[in-house]
A and B are shown apart, each in its own frame.
Chain A
Amino acid sequence: SQKIEQNSEALNIQEGKTATLTCNYTNYSPAYLQWYRQDPGRGPVFLLLIRENEKEKRKERLKVTFDTTLKQSLFHITASQPADSATYLCALDKTGFQKLVFGTGTRLLVSP
């Protein structure tokens, strides 16, 4: 069955370091992969989209990679700040069904 896995354990890092979050998937052949940020008690907010033919995508301090051979996406936040503390979700389109399927998310905690 199709599965999306994100590290369920929180990632704790110090301010200024680079945070790297992982999204692994099985039994998918996605054309696109999306990353969302969710703050406590709020709905997820879109951050970045990467296409299967793109190896890397950047937006300010954010960088996403997409390796369709490894079936993995990495999400990096450089020069992390306490304000980056949130849960980050990856999502894949369930092909042909117009529905995004979300991973369970990884909580990031950035300490001053």
Chain B
Amino acid sequence: DVKVTQSSRYLVKRTGEKVFLECVQDMDHENMFWYRQDPGLGLRLIYFSYDVKMKEKGDIPEGYSVSREKKERFSLILESASTNQTSMYLCASRLAGGGQETQYFGPGTRLLVL
């Protein structure tokens, strides 16, 4: 079974703090994704990586950066957390096979920025 793990289920941070969210997958997937999910807005793609050290902006990259130094690990960084970044963050991974490939999600990190 594919497993996608995220470093924390719940996080509470202060405005202005630097926040690291870690994601690890164990199935050698090329593609990894970071989404945030807010009520009524659905899943919104923040960043996407299709290979080590490669990244691509999603729909809402402002205020975020990412790092992919190893194939299995994809990190999301909030450079200076703000209250409007309070959200559920979901990591996902997928084989590079196009639309027929299933996407596997982690359990999510619920981040509260005070």
Query: Among residues 2 to 43 in chain A, which have CB atoms less than 8 Å away from a CB atom of chain B?
Result: 8, 30-32, 34, 36, 41-43
In contact, B41 and A42 (Cβ under 8 angstroms): no
What's the Cα separation between A35 and B37 when bound, in Å?
A: 17
Please measure, in the bound complex, the distance between the C-alpha atom of A23 and the C-alpha atom of B41, giving whole angstroms.
Answer: 16
**Interfacial residues of chain B within 5-19, with CB under 8 A of chain A in the complex:** none
B residues contacting the other copy or chain, number (CB 8 A): 27
Residues of A participating in the B interface, judged by any CB pair closer than 8 Å: 8, 30-32, 34, 36, 41-46, 49, 51, 89, 91-93, 95, 98-105
Pair B98/A98 contact, Cβ less than 8 Å = yes
- Whether B43 lies near A102 (C-beta < 8 A) is yes
Provide 19 A-B residue pairs closer than 8 Å at the C-beta atoms, listed in order of the A residue. Answer: A30-B99, A31-B98, A34-B102, A43-B4, A43-B106, A43-B107, A43-B108, A44-B43, A44-B90, A89-B43, A91-B103, A93-B98, A93-B99, A98-B31, A98-B94, A98-B96, A99-B33, A99-B48, A103-B42
Q: Is the interface of B mostly helix, strand, loop or mixed?
A: strand
| CB of A42 to closest CB in B, whole Å | 6
**Bound complex: CA of A45 vs CA of B4, how far in Å?**
12
Residues in B with CB closer than 8 Å to A8 are: 40
Q: Among B33, B96, B110, which residue has its beta carbon within 8 angstroms of that of A41?
A: B110
Interface residues of B in 50-72 (CB under 8 A from A): 50, 58
Chain B residues with Cβ below 8 Å from A45 are: 105
Q: A105 CB to closest chain B CB, in angstroms?
A: 6
Query: What sequence of 0s and 1s flags, for each residue 29-51 of chain B, a beta carbon within 8 Å of any chain A beta carbon?
Result: 00101000000111101001010
8 Å CB contact of B103 from A46, A95, A103: A46
Instruction: Name the B residues within 8 Å of A100 (CB-CB).
Output: 94, 99, 103
Q: Is B84 an interface residue (CB 8 A)?
A: no
Contact yes or no, A43 B92, CB < 8 A: yes
Q: Which residue of B lies closest to A96 (CB)?
A: B98
CB <8 Å contact, B42 and A98: no
Do the beta carbons of A92 and B102 come within 8 Å of each other? no
* Chain A residue nearest to B92 in the complex (CB): A43
- Which residue of chain B has the shortest Cβ distance to A42 in the bound complex? B107
